[in-house]
Copies of this chain bind each other. A is one copy, B any other.
Amino acid sequence: MSKNVLILPGDGIGPEIVAEAVKVLNVVNNKFDLGLTLEEGLVGGSAYDVHGTPLPEETMTKAKASDAILLGAVGGPKWDNLEDRELRPEKGLLGLRSGLELFGNLRPAILYPQLADASSLKPEIVSGLDILIVRELTGGIYFGKPRGIRTLENGEREGYNTYVYSESEIRRIAKVAFESARKRNKKLCSVDKANVLEVTVLWREILEEVGKEYPDVELSHMYVDNAAMQLVRAPKQFDVMVTGNMFGDILSDAAAMLTGSIGMLPSASLDKDNKGMYEPCHGSAPDIAGQGIANPLATILSAAMMLRYSLNEVAAADAIEEAVSKVLDQGLRTADIFSDGMKKVSTEEMGEAVVAAL
């Protein structure tokens, strides 16, 4: 039975890094006889340039028909000043997440032993770091309504957004988080601001409730300001963290940066049936786009994550992850993770090296 994978290169460095991941996918497709069919689509600014919208209907149709999606990144200064905010590249990404109900965002922050030096933190603070951040991705303030900018009676304008979660939205992401924790070290820290925000009072309550079904998982709660501090102070205290869309956006990026090698970190965005979209944690990096120096490994590892979670091809996923580890052992480094004594390589050379290691 053939499986369809939709490839969405997107903007900025997206096309360059995705090209390398596609090479890798093609190799494992043959080697492990996976029967994958790869198809391409447009999203973000590059879709806007062609179709006048960041999420063409054709892309949405293909996405719905696919078994999994691999995305590069979207956005860039070229589209930052689009008057109609609905046409900005980010809306393409948000539209995919919400249209496909990809509410469960898994963002691992793992320190590769070969790259321990890259961290801005002291080695003893981060060595062996392995956190999983579970971020709710289709609700909260990023999607809440009402929203906009209105003019008040006194003539001045006011901007407003709504941070909202229903019980069922909280419950389903809580389950994803508890299930993930169960497969790891059985510790789940839920992050909220329940001392101030009512929406997170409900969040905490539902987490407690769902927690009763997972007596083997140790549940704790932490305020978001404290969580930001604890990630800096002693990140290894965490196993799995779960939080809403906005706090998750902030904390997962901070956690990723603790490793010093965000160019290495994949992510998964899953629906209730584990169908998913996979993308690197880093963004479209328009400043280095087109130079052939971006790190393709986060995207290649996203492809591995896709094989593991959505396509159930564990052997192929393992093979890719081992190949990545091998090229690191060989001392190959793109500019973002380069250090003295290593061999600096281009995006393409890095991709080819992974292919060779397979």
Contact = CB atoms under 8 A, between A and B. Distances in A.
Interface of A: 75, 85, 88, 90, 94, 120-122, 125, 141-142, 144, 147-149, 152, 156-168, 193, 195-203, 224-226, 228-234, 246-247, 249-254, 256-258, 260, 262, 283
* Closest 10 A/B residue pairs (Cβ): A159-B199, A159-B202, A228-B254, A229-B257, A225-B253, A232-B257, A160-B164, A156-B167, A158-B166, A161-B163
A166 B162 contact: no
B165 A201 contact: no
Contacts of A260: 233
Given A149-B201, A149-B202, 15 more contacts: A85-B198, A90-B195, A90-B196, A148-B198, A149-B198, A149-B199, A152-B166, A156-B168, A157-B202, A159-B203, A226-B253, A229-B254, A229-B257, A232-B232, A232-B254
How many copies of the chain does the oligomer comprise? 2
B159 A165 contact: yes
Nearest to A171: B156
A121 to B, nearest CB: 5
Nearest to A256: B229
Contact of A159 (B164, B231, B234): B164
A137 to B, nearest CB: 12
A120 B234 contact: yes
12 contacts: A120-B121, A120-B125, A121-B122, A141-B163, A147-B197, A149-B198, A149-B199, A149-B202, A193-B249, A228-B228, A228-B257, A232-B254
User: Taking chain A's interface residues, is the majority helix, strand, or loop, or is none over half, making it mixed?
Assistant: helix
A90 B195 CA distance: 7
A145 B147 CA distance: 13
Contact of A249 (B94, B203, B225, B283): B225
A338 to B, nearest CB: 15
A160 B163 contact: yes
A196 B142 contact: yes
Given A232-B257, A253-B225, A254-B232, A198 B157 contact: no
A196 B144 contact: no
B195 A75 contact: yes
Nearest to A196: B142
Nearest to A251: B228
- Among A125, A159, A252, the one with the most B-chain Cβ atoms within 10 Å of its Cβ is A159
Given A228-B253, A229-B262, A262-B229, A198 B142 contact: no
Contacts of A162: 160-163
A258 B168 CA distance: 37
Contacts of A251: 228
Contacts of A158: 164-167, 202
A156 B141 CA distance: 19
Given A167-B158, A202-B157, A250 B225 contact: yes
